[in-house]
Amino acid sequence: MSPSHPHPHPTNTPPPPTPTFLKLSYPAPRVLLIRMDRPSALNAMSTAAQWEMDSVWRWLDTEPSLSIAIITGTGRAFSAGADLKEWNSSMSADADPSKRMGNAPKFTPLSRRRGKKPVIAAVNGLAMGGGCEFVVNCDLVVASEEAVFGLPEVKRGVSPIGGALPRLIRTVGLQRATEFALMGEPISAQTAMEWGIVNKVVPKEKVVEEAVKYAAKIAENSPDAIICTRAGLRQGWVSAAVEEAVSITMENEFAELQKGENILEGLKAFSEKRKPCWKASRL
């Protein structure tokens, strides 16, 4: 089903309110589409908007009817990152230092999120600063041919502290990460794909549709297995030591997977040559 004809929300559990920044829809079974909707500001994120996103990510991980999310933007930008006008205001001499944007109370933005469930970035346009940091931490990335990626913080006297720097090292290597972050110059979608940041580049009008195709295929699989397999990938990305990563996943997510109904259903369905009927994840 196309994103323009979304499925109704599949459970009675309401999502958190998103009054200022986000629009939520359900374009395929078990798939959540999150649209950053502040096009007049290139989907720049205020502090309030970042808290909205934090609550949605937490809800995604606890909502049993959902297996995966897609994030995209409205208009010509995916996201221009932090709202620099708000940040500038928070830096005034009489402002409370603890309330400055860079010193906000700890929360889990997408750029630092580990979470349980995968997120696909459908990058429709500009992905700059914090918006680019979001992309670097997504599990899979579909980009418009018009998309542009950049970390221009060094040109503004600040630094990309949202998690992208160590993740870029793991994805593209030290030299490319250094070029990208210290020069502050943007790169094209094609270059981002060549560097391994982007999985696929498509025409702009197809970017959400292609992301939904990826998400729908993933969501057909066991909810327990999706969480466990992603955890194994993430442990390898974060901890780097192969045996340590395997051991952590086996002792946690895989141990829980083996206690659930979905592993039994998957094996039984294979033996009976039929499509499995998954239950909500217990992980």
Report, as residue numbers or ranges, the catalytic residues. Answer: 82, 130, 133, 153
Assigned token pair, 175: 């030299």
Q: What is the CA radius of gyration of the chain?
A: 19
